Structure 1
Amino acid sequence: MLPELPFPNAVAILPEPLQAQFARQWARYRERHVSDEHMLAGLPDSLPLVWALSDFVAEGCIQSQDLLRRLVDGDRLSTKGAAGHLRARVQNALSTAADETTFMRLIRQCRREEMVRIAWRDLAGQANLDEILDDLSELADSLIESALIYAETALESRFGRPDDGQRLIVLALGKLGGGELNFSSDVDLIFAYAAPGETNGRQPIEHQAYFTRLAQRLIRYLSEVTADGQVWRVDMRLRPFGDDGPLVTHIAAMEHYYAAHGREWERYAWIKARVAAGDRKAGDRLLATLRPFVYRRYLDYGVFESLREMKEMINREAHKRGEYVDLKRSPGGIREVEFIGQAFQLIRAGRDPGLQHRGIREVLSRLKARDLLPDWAERELQEAYAFLRQAENRLQMQADQQTHRLPDEPLGRLRLARAMGCADWPVFQAMLGERMRGVHGHFERIFAAPQAEVGDTSSGDQLARAWREGDATGLRAGLVAVGYDDPDGAAEHLIALAKGSAMRTLTETARQRLAQLVPLLVRAAAIQDAPAQTLARTLVLMQAMSGRSVYLALLVESPLALSQLVRLCAASPWIAEQLARMPLLLDELLDPRSLYAPLDREGLARELATALIEVADDDVEQLMDRLRQFKAAQVLKVAAADVTGTLPLMRVSDQLTWVAEVILDRVLAAARAQLSARYGLPWQSSEDREAGFGVVAYGKLGGIELGYGSDLDVVFLYESGAGEQLTRGDKPIDNAVYFARLAQRVIHLLTTYTAAGTLYEIDTRLRPSGASGLLVSSLDAFDLYQRSEAWVWEHQALVRARFIAGAESVAARFSAIREEILCRQRAGETLRREVREMRARMWQALGSRDSARFDLKKDPGGIADIEFLVQYNALLHAHAYPALVRYTDNIRLLQALADMGIMDPADAILLTDAYKAYRDRTHALTLQAAPAVVPAGEFADMRMVVGRIWTAQLGNDDATPV
């Protein structure tokens, strides 16, 4: 028999069972098409392999030689079609349908022909997985759209069409929605329509009735089994209320359903939703409206629990069916890969829109890019998913049957093994088993209840039970058992939470999660130096977040996040307060690698750009929220690194200053974009260019010495020129007005209180003429004021001033003005007197005047004295040593004064050490939620040193004790 078969070499390499299978199919083909010898010459070499592997392909060619001829003559078996070709072929194939019967036949024949082509290319190794899934999904979209169009035409003669032009919205979910349709899948659809009304035909009907009839026809065209088979099985069970709900739902009713009745599993289904056919604009609007239902704006770690429950239900169903391997549902199967991606999406995609993607492979890639999946894990999951999906498709290609179960009979097993490039079934089993074990291992690591074993211990059970029952005696016993230093106090705090008003308003889910979490918190706090105090701080946080049970789920699900939370609360009540105010910061606790390693200036700029990449400048509310979230997260990282000693003093202020700089730079850009969209750009007519604007930082921001919670001292400057100065836009305004509004917009974006708090308090009193002066100053006015009107203290402030945001031309002009002013020659005695008098007035107004306490910032011998000493020397000597104006921070200025011989190097070192010590203590006190005040004796020696140097350089009077 073999010598009579075509392509003897291709046949010879097949195993004997596949040779025999092909021989049977070939004999049937020759019997049916005995006379067409010309056709035989054009057949591809891949035919024996493909027909041996797929009865579906062979049967399609046997039943219709025209089908085979079209595929061969069009070179569609060996060449990938150009974009749009498949859709065009579908439209052409259905264009001749004169009646419904013909349409039903043609759409099924079209489907069969394209499916034969897709299967052939896949089994012959001429198409990769991406092409196969894309083609299957595009084919389904095209056939659904064509069936919808025909149904609309069929109803038009009687009912007309909606008079507002709207069409049925056909939403695809599941594999089709994700653009990853498998070979013999059903299609998950949901139907909707945009607005109520009536059709415009001779028998007008309401839209609900019209679209229902339309949907019924569409389903029949696709799923009815005829002599030519069916197009696709249509599954409508994902619609609102499932089989009990209406077939078609009005958009408003659908929005209400998901807001009031939407269930957790429906969120997973809607991840893949997209408009497959019909009214695409209305469908896209609906998807945008439902996005908050799918993707919560907070970190939703409750997803893990619900996904575990769903997977357990699937496992129970699989167990009922027996021990066979299911490529989709068995442990390590396709569903587990999808669950991994979906879990991260549902947890994070509300805050990271880049994860709002329908295709699982792209989602895995994006998770790796965000360091949410290690490279090796993502690679293993991608390889396993591709292998599983190819096996699924090639299994279904054998007979076009919707199955995921591995075959039992020898021929089916051999076919699948060879289709997957394996020599035999044992080799395929080994490859499949390795990949499924890998997937299941990743699934277990992500979805296992990591803290369940803690609750199973006797002490954990005792604590949980005692807390739920409000049993103070039981709580105290449990606290003693785990080593609490103050079990009575800790028990009081636990009882207060259990019986507090917040508990009475909790959902049952929140109660259960809090009951799980309390024993975990108790045990985690027990290993800290002051367990009772640490527990009290964390319980305040629990009360603040108890109404948002997803945060409780995060801590239950992540032992690492819980341990970091307790550690930071133990170290700093200030950090605990920040977390209580903004619980979404808990996300930062998940990765200690980034938590204790704050980003540098460039890294912060990149991080902020990423956070705002999908936020439009005119979306003010979202912009303000994202900026506040960014600042809170970055400051938390600085504080975490600070309290754990991984960040030195100088870097703390550097980091906090960099955070402020990148935020101010972005706020200025957004404010400028908002105003320029309305008024156009401010124009400097005399030079025919845009007039520049800039922000100058004073005080701690200017001196790169920002602390936690510091205000920002800023001055706004702009370029002016001769002649008319107007913006160039549809609504031109005077440049000065534009710049005043720009400064106001910047302040508004920074200081407005939102649910996420404020960014910074802004102090503009250092501008020319102070609070009575204009909010913004032209560079010319600023120059004139500094030359002729500014007080000495204003020149002292200029020592610490630096340009931080805006146009380079403004930066250059400001630097020149600053240098010229600071380098003026000054009379030593006059300067000494004025600086000393200014310091005395400051102390009189702000000093503690308490001999038992020392205010680190304001009292004599403290930070203010050191700053005044530096500023005095810079103003006195800059005319001879212009390099002094290069720096704005006190540490480098002290070093410069020593290097230039202006100050005794030993004194400079003493002042530097004192300044660092004071600032370090100030940071530490802030993190302990305490004012910058210490007992008078704590820095007595340093105060004496500072006082000695002050007296030596500036003298003394009776107004300020030294």
Structure 2
Amino acid sequence: MSLPLLADLPDTLQPLVGRNEQSLRAAVAAAENLSIDHWTTERWSHFARVAAASEFVLEQSLRDPAMLLGLVAAGELDRPFARGELCGQVAAAALAANTEDELARNLRRQRTRQQVRIIWRDLTRQADLVQTCRDLSDLADASIDEAYKWLYPRLCEQFGTPTGHRSGEPQHMVVLGMGKLGAVELNLSSDIDLIFAYPEGGETQGVKRSLDNQEFFTRLGQRLIKALDPITVDGFVFRVDMRLRPYGSAGALVLSFNALEQYYQDQGRDWERYAMIKARVVAGDQVAGAQLQDMLRPFVYRRYLDFSAIEALRTMKQLIQQEVRRKGMADNIKLGAGGIREVEFIAQAFQLIHGGRDLSLQQRPLLKVLATLEGQGYLPPAVITEMREGYEFLRYTEHAIQAIADRQTQMLPEDELNRARIAFMMGFKDWGSFHEQLMHWRGRIDWHFRQVIADPDEDEGEDGEVVVGGEWLPLWEEAQDEEAACRQLSDAGFADAAKALKQLAGLRASPQLRAMQRLGRERLDAFIPRLLAQAVEHDDPDLVLERVLPLVEAVARRSAYLVLLTENPGALRRLLTLCAASPWIAEQITRFPLLLDELLNEGRLFSPPLAPELAAELRERLTRIPEDDLEQQMEALRHFKLAHSLRVAASEIAGSLPLMKVSDYLTWLAEAILDQVLALAWRQSVARHGQPKRSDGSLCDPGFIIVGYGKVGGIELGHGSDLDLVFIHDGDPQAETDGAKPIDSAQFFTRLGQRIIHLLTTQTNSGQLYDVDMRLRPSGASGLLVSSLGAFERYQQNEAWTWEHQALVRARVLVGCKQVGAAFEDVRARILGQPRDLPKLQAEVSEMRAKMRDNLGTKATAAGTAANAFDPGVPFDIKQDAGGIVDIEFMVQYAALAWSHTHPALLRYTDNIRILEGLEEVGLMPASDAVLLREVYKAFRSAAHRQALQKQAGVIDAGQFANERRDVRRIWAELGLS
């Protein structure tokens, strides 16, 4: 946020200026060898403003003027610290101590010095909010760590070195900073929430009477707290709060990693997950600390969508609100309505819900989380802007309140003097104008908070709270007889009430429901009435119920998904709409409930990204996963494919994406995935064997392409399409790779191809990526999995059948080496552009088409060629029967083979629509026929897509498209095909 410059001192503060200057001059005069005669007008101006606002800075300056003058002389009030500079000063103070009392004194004096510097720079706006919070957090980190480093060797000397039973290695403590310290967001008078841990059990070594490791680290923790927390004549370093540890104040001060993991796994509560989001290793053993955080991450971030987090946050907020009301804390800018805590709750709700799957949300600083929520599309930019600006305003206000007297409070002052100070520090002319702006931001934050955290059962009308779908609760709980239940269902619009009631009874009696725990059953009981209330809003509630209940049964044991739909009525509405429209979508979501996440954002659901955004999004997702975590990479690829496939299908159903765009998106999706799969397979293969070489001795990088045939080659992928692929390389088959375990290039590329197929086809919890068909490679299933470019060309020239050249018409490079890709395009052009004997070509294309009709066409109509082929009620196979899709494809392929020798432009594209346009442009096909074939082809493919979304075979009534099919057969015959 951009704060106004400090205004002139208000009248209330003017009398303090002269008094404070006189007091400082007197304190300097009373000390030896100090002078402020050299101070500039600007320095006095800064002092006047800071001292008038902050009693703490004034008091410390008068108490120890040498400290203030030292800061001035070093220029530390006028510049930010370099990285590590603050830590170095704290370390020097700790190192100078010879006793624990000296350690405590030195750290306290260092804290006072840094606090004066930080407040000065904050109030003169030489440091922004982030820098102020970082300085305060760095001060805490350094104080804790340097005290630990000072104490640890001395306790080892006294009690022996703690040693692990299992590892036999010396043990160090890990200090986790929680809350604002963990997030590097400390305020001017924060306490610090800490948790102490050590890696493993054992006992101390090197002394006669050894101690258990826990006893050793408990004593160390007690002394560490003593070094930081107690208030002495020198003040304090930081107030230490240990209540966030397991079992709170009643629990052990220090626990082993195993004990911590066991506690959080068995007894960890929702608020502890919330707290652990910001946990950071602030002192002690950083390496062991990273291992501890890896152990605890599954407790914080669940791999599934966890909307139960909202329930927990809502409960926490209600408890806070009760406390606020009880203690009269409405003016608390942290805990009150529209306060700092509400912004934190909003951010952490999204982190807890989505952070297990979206690793970009696994970060601590709130402002960075807000930026991620905007960048990843969780919240609109306008909402994020308001929350960020409101949060910054509140945090600056918090610092202003605490700067006055270095007190840990977020309460707005009631006295006129301190109100004037707050308004002045915040850049306002008076309290009224400041307070008006403050209430504006609190109102906006509270409004946004309610949108995210509010209970969906809350009705904002005057009638108080109502339960959505409450009229259906007695029916679900069997609190009424069967006749009354059927009557209620019938009155609400169910055509077969008895069947619907039976389906609900079947769900109640299912093994999954009987095995549910109490919390899960409560969530189900809250959800079913909502489901019924929304189902009856549809034209066919029977169909909705039939398709959605299998999903409910599938997720019953993972009731967080039920919470997702309960908490998000819009997501439930979209689920029912999509399931009613497509059993294929209903089945996909039932098999992979993680797709429910996609229903949360309506704008994103019906707006799939373009090719560059698709590729960039997938790259970003995979870069967040460690390179050696293959399992998580495979899951990320599969979830990405499932999610975007659903978005395309939803857009098609909604009518926002026409057929051609559907195929475009599905093809772009396949290309983005293949690009990353090739990169993964290449990295793994090179790591094992090194890089292969070309015949000129240069390294392949990767010297490999994936060629797409069929639908993916023709940019015509549909829902559930497999991929027809061919792998080609330009390595020297005889040369060996340059790694520690060298193999010849031919073997390397074969293994690379096998690795790619493995990554694409392996079944995981999220299914497989694609079915892959490699039979279009040279020599088909009996041929090499990967061909060199030279071998591919020789095969196509000397051995390939005409139907293989037909397939080559639709072949294009999907991903891989651009150099090899360009060479492949040259080979393709030479093969397809050679002159051909047209009668022979017509005969071979016709013969192949006849075989396909015989094997794959409708028997009852002789594949659409019999006299009854156009009769209503007779089946017509959209793809295989005469006059269908394959006839049009064969005509396009025949034309490309027949005439590309004289019209090479026909080879520019691989999709049927643009090849037909090319035939029209060069005059090889009448415009009327070319237009007709394009429109019929699109109509057939649209019908096939609709069938697929309905989980039906590509067979329709022969009465449909009768005239179109006759035209296709006419053009077929006019091309000389039989």
Amino acid at match of 2:426: M
Match of 1:919 among 937, 941, 947: 941
SS of equivalent residue, structure 2 residue 692: strand
Q: Which aligned pairs between 1:704-715 and structure 2 lie closer than 5 A? A: 704-715=715-726
Q: Which aligned pairs between 1:592-607 and structure 2 lie closer than 5 A? A: 592-607=602-617
Supply the distance in 2 between the matched residues of 1:349 and 1:698 (Cα, whole angstroms). 38
The answer on whether the counterparts of 1:854 and 1:936 sit within 8 Å (CA) in structure 2 is yes
Supply the distance in 1 between the matched residues of 2:322 and 2:934 (Cα, whole angstroms). 70
The answer for the alignment partner of 1:188 in structure 2 is: 193
Amino acid at match of 1:98: N
SS of equivalent residue, structure 1 residue 683: coil
Deviates more, 1:319-328 or 1:24-33: 24-33
The answer for the alignment partner of 1:81 in structure 2 is: 81
Supply the distance in 2 between the matched residues of 1:126 and 1:720 (Cα, whole angstroms). 60
Supply the distance in 2 between the matched residues of 1:854 and 1:895 (Cα, whole angstroms). 27
1:759 aligns with 2:764: no
After superposition, the Cα gap between the structure-2 partners of 1:29 and 1:166, relative to the gap in structure 1 and judged at 3 Å, is: farther
The answer on whether the counterparts of 1:617 and 1:674 sit within 8 Å (CA) in structure 2 is no
Amino acid at match of 1:23: R
1:779 aligns with 2:789: yes
SS of equivalent residue, structure 1 residue 694: strand
1:504 aligns with 2:514: yes
Amino acid at match of 1:744: Q
The answer for the alignment partner of 1:960 in structure 2 is: none
Alignment identity in percent? 46
The answer for the alignment partner of 2:586 in structure 1 is: 576
Supply the distance in 2 between the matched residues of 1:126 and 1:895 (Cα, whole angstroms). 66
The answer for the alignment partner of 1:816 in structure 2 is: 826
- The Cα offsets for residues 118-140 of structure 1, whole Å up to 9 and x where unpaired, read as 22332344332222211111111
Match of 1:624 among 628, 634, 647: 634
Q: What is the CA distance between 1:467 and its match in structure 2?
A: 0.5
Amino acid at match of 1:863: I
SS of equivalent residue, structure 1 residue 297: coil
Deviates more, 1:473-482 or 1:835-844: 473-482
Supply the distance in 2 between the matched residues of 1:661 and 1:13 (Cα, whole angstroms). 64
Q: What is the CA distance between 1:931 and its match in structure 2?
A: 0.6
Match of 2:222 among 216, 229, 239: 216
SS of equivalent residue, structure 2 residue 205: coil
The answer for the alignment partner of 2:166 in structure 1 is: none
1:171 aligns with 2:176: yes
Q: What is the CA distance between 1:421 and its match in structure 2?
A: 2.5
Q: What is the CA distance between 1:62 and its match in structure 2?
A: 2.4
The answer for the alignment partner of 2:915 in structure 1 is: 893
SS of equivalent residue, structure 1 residue 41: coil
1:514 aligns with 2:520: no
Q: What is the CA distance between 1:403 and its match in structure 2?
A: 1.5
The answer on whether the counterparts of 2:574 and 2:599 sit within 8 Å (CA) in structure 1 is yes
The answer on whether the counterparts of 1:187 and 1:232 sit within 8 Å (CA) in structure 2 is yes
The answer for the alignment partner of 1:302 in structure 2 is: 308
The answer on whether the counterparts of 1:617 and 1:673 sit within 8 Å (CA) in structure 2 is no
The answer for the alignment partner of 1:703 in structure 2 is: 714
The answer for the alignment partner of 2:865 in structure 1 is: none
After superposition, the Cα gap between the structure-2 partners of 1:458 and 1:167, relative to the gap in structure 1 and judged at 3 Å, is: closer
Q: What is the CA distance between 1:535 and its match in structure 2?
A: 2.1
Q: What is the CA distance between 1:451 and its match in structure 2?
A: 4.7
Match of 1:651 among 658, 661, 667: 661
1:19 aligns with 2:28: no
Amino acid at match of 2:368: E
The answer for the alignment partner of 1:465 in structure 2 is: 474
1:269 aligns with 2:275: yes
The answer for the alignment partner of 2:347 in structure 1 is: 341
Supply the distance in 1 between the matched residues of 2:627 and 2:433 (Cα, whole angstroms). 57
Q: What is the CA distance between 1:687 and its match in structure 2?
A: 5.3
- The Cα offsets for residues 611-632 of structure 1, whole Å up to 9 and x where unpaired, read as 2221344432111111111111
After superposition, the Cα gap between the structure-2 partners of 1:184 and 1:800, relative to the gap in structure 1 and judged at 3 Å, is: same
Match of 1:871 among 889, 893, 907: 893
After superposition, the Cα gap between the structure-2 partners of 1:40 and 1:853, relative to the gap in structure 1 and judged at 3 Å, is: same
1:448 aligns with 2:468: no
Q: What is the CA distance between 1:17 and its match in structure 2?
A: 5.4
Q: What is the CA distance between 1:733 and its match in structure 2?
A: 1.0
After superposition, the Cα gap between the structure-2 partners of 1:421 and 1:874, relative to the gap in structure 1 and judged at 3 Å, is: closer
Deviates more, 1:672-681 or 1:423-432: 423-432
SS of equivalent residue, structure 1 residue 767: coil
After superposition, the Cα gap between the structure-2 partners of 1:63 and 1:345, relative to the gap in structure 1 and judged at 3 Å, is: same
Q: Which aligned pairs between 1:790-939 and structure 2 lie closer than 5 A? A: 790-851=800-861, 852-939=874-961
Q: What is the CA distance between 1:767 and its match in structure 2?
A: 1.1
The answer on whether the counterparts of 2:203 and 2:211 sit within 8 Å (CA) in structure 1 is yes
- The Cα offsets for residues 481-522 of structure 1, whole Å up to 9 and x where unpaired, read as 433333333322222222322211223333222222222222
Match of 1:413 among 416, 419, 438: 419
SS of equivalent residue, structure 1 residue 714: strand
The answer for the alignment partner of 1:3 in structure 2 is: none
Supply the distance in 1 between the matched residues of 2:147 and 2:70 (Cα, whole angstroms). 23
After superposition, the Cα gap between the structure-2 partners of 1:760 and 1:413, relative to the gap in structure 1 and judged at 3 Å, is: same
After superposition, the Cα gap between the structure-2 partners of 1:57 and 1:75, relative to the gap in structure 1 and judged at 3 Å, is: same
Supply the distance in 1 between the matched residues of 2:337 and 2:307 (Cα, whole angstroms). 22
Supply the distance in 1 between the matched residues of 2:627 and 2:257 (Cα, whole angstroms). 30
The answer on whether the counterparts of 1:196 and 1:208 sit within 8 Å (CA) in structure 2 is yes
- The Cα offsets for residues 21-71 of structure 1, whole Å up to 9 and x where unpaired, read as 872795597379547695242453122332332222222222223323322
Deviates more, 1:413-422 or 1:533-542: 413-422
The answer for the alignment partner of 2:729 in structure 1 is: 718
The answer for the alignment partner of 1:93 in structure 2 is: 93
Q: What is the CA distance between 1:413 and its match in structure 2?
A: 2.4
Supply the distance in 2 between the matched residues of 1:359 and 1:459 (Cα, whole angstroms). 36
Q: What is the CA distance between 1:721 and its match in structure 2?
A: 4.5
After superposition, the Cα gap between the structure-2 partners of 1:743 and 1:282, relative to the gap in structure 1 and judged at 3 Å, is: same
After superposition, the Cα gap between the structure-2 partners of 1:26 and 1:95, relative to the gap in structure 1 and judged at 3 Å, is: farther
Deviates more, 1:259-268 or 1:387-396: 387-396
The answer for the alignment partner of 2:146 in structure 1 is: 146
Q: What is the CA distance between 1:168 and its match in structure 2?
A: 0.9
Q: What is the CA distance between 1:468 and its match in structure 2?
A: 2.3
Match of 2:676 among 651, 666, 679: 666
Q: What is the CA distance between 1:457 and its match in structure 2?
A: 5.9
Amino acid at match of 1:914: V
SS of equivalent residue, structure 2 residue 708: strand
The answer for the alignment partner of 2:493 in structure 1 is: 483
Supply the distance in 2 between the matched residues of 1:346 and 1:12 (Cα, whole angstroms). 45
Supply the distance in 1 between the matched residues of 2:558 and 2:915 (Cα, whole angstroms). 50
The answer for the alignment partner of 2:867 in structure 1 is: none
After superposition, the Cα gap between the structure-2 partners of 1:410 and 1:926, relative to the gap in structure 1 and judged at 3 Å, is: same
Amino acid at match of 2:56: F
Q: What is the CA distance between 1:856 and its match in structure 2?
A: 1.2
- The Cα offsets for residues 743-772 of structure 1, whole Å up to 9 and x where unpaired, read as 101100000000000111111111111111
The answer on whether the counterparts of 2:195 and 2:242 sit within 8 Å (CA) in structure 1 is yes
Supply the distance in 2 between the matched residues of 1:37 and 1:151 (Cα, whole angstroms). 36
Q: What is the CA distance between 1:181 and its match in structure 2?
A: 0.9
Q: What is the CA distance between 1:300 and its match in structure 2?
A: 1.6
Q: What is the CA distance between 1:287 and its match in structure 2?
A: 0.8
Number of aligned residues:
946
Where does structure 1 lack aligned partners over 5 or more consecutive residues? Answer: 1-9, 957-962
Deviates more, 1:935-944 or 1:132-141: 935-944
The answer on whether the counterparts of 1:170 and 1:275 sit within 8 Å (CA) in structure 2 is yes
After superposition, the Cα gap between the structure-2 partners of 1:63 and 1:606, relative to the gap in structure 1 and judged at 3 Å, is: same
The answer on whether the counterparts of 1:680 and 1:727 sit within 8 Å (CA) in structure 2 is yes
1:493 aligns with 2:503: yes
The answer on whether the counterparts of 2:23 and 2:62 sit within 8 Å (CA) in structure 1 is no
The answer for the alignment partner of 1:429 in structure 2 is: 435
The answer on whether the counterparts of 1:836 and 1:954 sit within 8 Å (CA) in structure 2 is no
Deviates more, 1:665-674 or 1:588-597: 588-597
Deviates more, 1:797-806 or 1:450-459: 450-459
Q: What is the CA distance between 1:708 and its match in structure 2?
A: 1.1
After superposition, the Cα gap between the structure-2 partners of 1:812 and 1:109, relative to the gap in structure 1 and judged at 3 Å, is: closer
- The Cα offsets for residues 662-693 of structure 1, whole Å up to 9 and x where unpaired, read as 21122112111111122111101335342721
After superposition, the Cα gap between the structure-2 partners of 1:597 and 1:37, relative to the gap in structure 1 and judged at 3 Å, is: same
SS of equivalent residue, structure 1 residue 407: coil
C-alpha RMSD over aligned residues: 2.4
